[in-house]
């Protein structure tokens, strides 16, 4: 599944604010978004990713996404750097 992409990535950014910031700098290859995250939280990330034409991959769980990033809490979004 897509969680392996995070594990294999050389560099990634966790969190919505940081993801939006990275998308605007043009260093993001793709964005992973947890389907169980609050849409109000992920809306800006989705909008920005679409504006800069970065692919979005949806995963099923914030908890699993956070674990794949090596953090103890859930992650709503993760940006994988190019």
**pLDDT score, position 66:** 93
Q: What is the dihedral of CA 52, 14, 43, 36, to 10 degrees?
A: 130
Return the CATH number of 3-81, one of 3.20.20.70, 3.30.1330.30, 3.30.70.980, 3.30.70.100. 3.30.1330.30
**pLDDT score, position 9:** 83
Residues 6 or more apart whose CB falls under 8 angstroms from that of 7 comprise 68
Angle between helices 39-51 and 16-25 (to 10 degrees): 10
pLDDT at 2 over 90: no
Tell me the mean pLDDT in the region 1-26: 88
- Coil, helix or strand at residue 32: strand
pLDDT tens across 15-70, in order? 999 999 999 999 999 999 999 999 999 999 999 999 999 999 999 999 999 999 99
Question: What is the rounded CA–CA span in Å between residue 36 and residue 9?
Answer: 23
**pLDDT score, position 7:** 77
The pTM of this model reads 0.92
End-to-end distance of the chain based on CA atoms, in angstroms? 19
């Amino acid at each position: 599944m897509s969680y392996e992409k995070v594990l294999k990535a050389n560099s990634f950014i966790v969190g919505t604010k940081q993801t939006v910031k990275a998308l605007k700098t043009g260093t993001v290859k793709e964005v992973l978004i947890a389907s169980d995250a609050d849409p109000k939280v992920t809306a800006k990330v989705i909008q920005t990713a679409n504006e800069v034409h970065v692919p979005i991959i949806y995963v099923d769980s914030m908890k699993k996404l956070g674990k794949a990033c090596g953090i103890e809490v859930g992650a709503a979004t993760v940006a994988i750097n190019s």
